[in-house]
Amino acid sequence: MTHGNRRMWWSGVGTVLCVVSLMWISEGILGAQSEQVVDVTIKDYRFVTKQSTLRLGFPTVIKVRNEDAERHDFSSTMFEGIPTQIEKDGVVVYGRGVGGVFLGPKQEATIRFDMTRPGRHVFRCSIHPTMNGELLLLSAEAV
């Protein structure tokens, strides 16, 4: 490699890094506006939920993380009849009759769907019937 070629190579790397960081920034801004995120952590056989106000008709993301050394699942009827995307271990699954997702020890999954029904939506672990939680959904008019 000659000196000139090397310099061109480095400026190429610089350009790529700039584009990547710009993509990160715009994704962060757009993501904050268009998606409402719910964080669900499974710990000591309990669901710990962090949610802001959830509104109907907005793309909703539920991030579930299992911090236990035990296998759990996050199952709910709230996805019934709604196109739902589940991402786990880099694999994305789409479905309309999704009941939930199983999570091995320390595993996490991301569930994406559009909220269409207002009210309280219960979720639970089908392996451990005492584990449950709920999400509260406001209709747009109530906000």
* For Cu ion, the closer CB: 54 or 72: 72
- Least Å distance, CB 113 to Cu ion, is 22
127 binds Cu ion (CB under 5 A): yes
Distance of alpha carbon 45 from its chain centroid, rounded?
Answer: 20
Stretch of 1-9, 77-85, 111-119, 121-129 lying at the interface with Cu ion (CB under 5 A): 121-129
Separation of alpha carbons 74 and 114, rounded Å: 17
Helix, strand and coil in the chain, % to nearest 5: 25, 45, 30
112 binds Cu ion (CB under 5 A): no
- Least Å distance, CB 141 to Cu ion, is 36
User: What are the helix and strand counts (H, E) for the chain?
Assistant: 1, 11
Residues 78, 86, 115, 125: which binds Cu ion (CB under 5 A)? 125
Contacts of 81 (CB under 8 A, 6+ apart): 96, 97
Q: Which x/- pattern, by CB under 5 A, does the window 17-56 give for Cu ion?
A: ----------------------------------------
- Least Å distance, CB 96 to Cu ion, is 25
Site for Cu ion in 79-98 (CB under 5 A): none
Separation of alpha carbons 138 and 56, rounded Å: 7
- Least Å distance, CB 90 to Cu ion, is 23
Contact 111, 59 (CB under 8 A): no
Q: Is 114 helix (H, G, I), strand (E, B) or coil?
A: strand
Q: Which residues bind Cu ion (CB under 5 A)?
A: 72, 125, 127-128, 131
